[in-house]
Chain A
C-alpha cells in the first residue's frame, strides 16, 4: 500500500489534491482512499490530507503516520510543522518551492533520504502562469507523477477533468504537464550529475 500525506495551508486545495490523486489511482484500476485531517480550518491555517493507494480493498482508517510520499504545498510550513514525521526511509518528498532543500534549510533531510526521490518544483509560479491564481495543488500532482512514476500524468489529467471543467481544468492540466516536464528535466540532470 502506498501512503501519501499532503501538507499545505487552508485555501491551497490540499484536500482537493488528495481527492484528485485518489481519482487518478482509481482510473488506473486501483483502490484508493482520500480523506482530510478534519479540522475546522481557516484560510492560511496548516492543513493535512491523506491518500492511500492499494491493489486491495483499503480498510484502514487511521491518519497516515508513516507516509511513503510527502507533498508540501507551502514551504513556510517546513519550520512550523514537523512535516517529515514518520517518513519512510525510501520515501518521496516533493516541495513547492523555487529553492533547493539546502536553500530551504532542510539540507539534512536530503542527507537522510534517497536524493533521487527528493525534489522541489516552483508550483505556485507555474500555477500563476496557467491559472492566474496561486493554487499549487494539481500542479504538484503532475510533479509527483514525474518524480515517482507511481501514477501517470494522463491519469492526473483525467482526474482534473473529472473534478473541474472549462478553463480551470485546461489551466490545471497544462500546469500539471509543465511541472511534470520540469521535474523530468531535474531528474535527468541529477542522474548525469550522479553519473559524473
Chain B
C-alpha cells in the first residue's frame, strides 16, 4: 500500500512486519523516531509477542540484543553516531558469536566537535567489525532492506547493519510502498537459530579461544561474508519477485554502460548524483553512477565489472580517514587493481554539509577536465581553514579550534542553507 510517511516510521512499520521478539534500544538522534514507533506498537498491542526493553545505554542495548538473540529470539535495535561507538565492544561480540541481530544505523557524524548531522563516519568506524553493512539510497530501500536483512542474517547466522542517512532519510516524508504482513511472512520464515541457549540442553557460547584456533574462527567469519556476497543478490532477486521492486543487492548502476566517467557513492546522495548526471548527459557528457548497497561484504568483483570500461572513477564519499583520505575509495581501488584508470576521491557532506547539484557539476566537470586533485574536499571553506592555521602559526595559545572557526563563520541562523 502506498503511503506518504516519515522514513523512520516506514522503517518502524517494516521492522514490525518482520515480527521481532525483542527490541532493545537507547534513544539517540537521528534514530529515535524508529524505536519510538516500535515502542508504541508494542505498547498498543499491534506488535504482538514482542518485548520492548528500555536500556540504560547503547552498550546495554547491544548486550541485551546478544543475550536475547542467543536465547533464540529475533532481535532488533537501532543507534547512531556516539551511540554506535559506545556499543562497539558488544558490536564485535555480536558478530564474533554469529548472532543474527539486525540493527539500523541512522548515519550521523562523530564528535568532537559535537554534530548531530549526517555523514557515514559512524558505520565506517565499525567497517571491520564483522557485521554485514547495507546502505539505503532512499526510504523505500531503507524499508525493504530491513526485511531482507532479517532473512540474510538468520540464514547465515550473522548480524546485519542497515545504514540509512540520518535526517536526510530518517526525517524525510516521502512515498513508500508498504508491504502486507502476508508478503513479509512469505519472504521471511520464522527464526530457526543455528545455536541457542536453552536450559534443557545447556551449551557454552563465546568460549575463550587461544592461538590454536582464533585465526580459523576469524577466517570462518570472512567465509560467511563471502557467502553473503552470493546470497545478497539472490535475496534481492527473490525480494523483487515477491514485492515487485528491485532494492538492495550488491551494487546498482545508472547510465554506466557507455560512461567514460563513473561516480561511485553510497546512500541517499545517489539520488542527487543521478539528477546531476542526467543534466550532464544532456550536455553530451558520458557519465554514470554506481551505487554500492553492500559495503560489507565489499563486492570487489561486481564493482570491477561495473567500472572496468570507464576512463575515470570518482569516488564521492561521506566518510574520511583522517591522515589518509577516502575510506570507500581504498576498497574501490582494490577492485580496480591493474586497470590503470584515473581515480579521484571526493570527500563531501561531512557533518551535514549539503551536497548540491551545483557543487557536483563543478566537481565532476573538473574531474572530466582532469583538473581535480586526487583528494578533494568538496566545498571546503579554505578561508576559515587558513585563518586557523595562521593563528596557530602565530601564537602558542591559539585556543579551541571549533570555537575559533565558529567565530570566523559568524552567525549561521540567519542563513537559509
- The A-contacting residues of B in range 111-157, CB under 8 angstroms, are 116-118, 138
Question: A46 on the interface (CB 8 Å rule)?
Answer: yes
Fill in one digit per residue for A59-84: 1 if any B CB lies within 8 Å of its CB, else 0.
11111010000000000000011110
**Judging by beta carbons under 8 Å apart, are A62 and B416 in contact?**
no
**Judging by beta carbons under 8 Å apart, are A82 and B275 in contact?**
no
**Interface size counted on chain A using CB atoms at 8 A:** 34
**Judging by beta carbons under 8 Å apart, are B175 and A34 in contact?**
no
Q: Which of B319-327, B350-358, B382-390 lies at the binding interface?
A: B350-358
Which residues on the B side are within 8 Å of A45 (C-beta)?
A: 413
| Set A32, A39, A62, A65: member contacting B174, Cβ < 8 A | A32
Which residues on the A side are within 8 Å of B268 (C-beta)?
A: 61
Complex Cα distance, B31 from A8, in Å, reads 25
Complex Cα distance, B6 from A61, in Å, reads 15
Write the nearest CB–CB distance from A122 to chain B, whole angstroms.
25
**Judging by beta carbons under 8 Å apart, are B174 and A61 in contact?**
no
**Judging by beta carbons under 8 Å apart, are A23 and B356 in contact?**
no
Complex Cα distance, B333 from A135, in Å, reads 54
Complex Cα distance, B416 from A82, in Å, reads 7
Write the nearest CB–CB distance from B288 to chain A, whole angstroms.
14
Question: B344 on the interface (CB 8 Å rule)?
Answer: no
- Report the nearest B residue to A46, measured CB to CB: B413
Question: A182 on the interface (CB 8 Å rule)?
Answer: no
Which residues on the A side are within 8 Å of B274 (C-beta)?
A: 59
| Set A19, A25, A37, A82: member contacting B414, Cβ < 8 A | A82
Complex Cα distance, B370 from A156, in Å, reads 50
Fill in one digit per residue for A32-58: 1 if any B CB lies within 8 Å of its CB, else 0.
111111111000011010000000001
Which residues on the A side are within 8 Å of B357 (C-beta)?
A: 60, 62
**Judging by beta carbons under 8 Å apart, are B416 and A61 in contact?**
no
Fill in one digit per residue for B266-288: 1 if any A CB lies within 8 Å of its CB, else 0.
00111110110000000000000
- Report the nearest B residue to A15, measured CB to CB: B171
Complex Cα distance, B414 from A39, in Å, reads 13
- Report the nearest A residue to B168, measured CB to CB: A61
Which residues on the B side are within 8 Å of A22 (C-beta)?
A: 4, 173-174
Question: A86 on the interface (CB 8 Å rule)?
Answer: yes
**Judging by beta carbons under 8 Å apart, are A35 and B168 in contact?**
yes
**Judging by beta carbons under 8 Å apart, are B269 and A81 in contact?**
no
Residues of B in contact with A, size category: 20 to 34
Question: A101 on the interface (CB 8 Å rule)?
Answer: no
- The B-contacting residues of A in range 83-126, CB under 8 angstroms, are 83, 85-86
**Judging by beta carbons under 8 Å apart, are A32 and B272 in contact?**
no
**Judging by beta carbons under 8 Å apart, are B416 and A86 in contact?**
yes
**Judging by beta carbons under 8 Å apart, are A38 and B4 in contact?**
no
Question: A31 on the interface (CB 8 Å rule)?
Answer: yes
- The A-contacting residues of B in range 150-173, CB under 8 angstroms, are 167-168, 171-173
Fill in one digit per residue for B1-30: 1 if any A CB lies within 8 Å of its CB, else 0.
010101000000000000000000000010
Complex Cα distance, B414 from A45, in Å, reads 10
Which residues on the B side are within 8 Å of A59 (C-beta)?
A: 138, 270-272, 274-275
| Set B171, B173, B271, B355: member contacting A32, Cβ < 8 A | B173
Complex Cα distance, B174 from A194, in Å, reads 40
Fill in one digit per residue for B241-270: 1 if any A CB lies within 8 Å of its CB, else 0.
000000000000000000000000000111
Complex Cα distance, B172 from A33, in Å, reads 7
Fill in one digit per residue for B171-195: 1 if any A CB lies within 8 Å of its CB, else 0.
1111100000000000000000000
11 extra A-B contacts, CB within 8 A, seeds A34-B172, A35-B172, A63-B416: A23-B4, A26-B4, A31-B175, A38-B118, A38-B167, A38-B352, A40-B29, A59-B271, A59-B272, A59-B275, A60-B357
Q: Which residues of A contact B (CB under 8 A)?
A: 5, 18-19, 22-23, 25-27, 31-40, 45-46, 48, 58-63, 65, 80-83, 85-86
Q: Which residues of B contact A (CB under 8 A)?
A: 2, 4, 6, 29, 116-118, 138, 167-168, 171-175, 268-272, 274-275, 352, 354-358, 413-417
The 3 closest A-B pairs by CB, nearest first: A59-B271, A26-B4, A34-B173
8 CB < 8 A contacts A-B: A27-B4, A35-B168, A36-B167, A38-B171, A60-B272, A61-B272, A81-B413, A83-B416
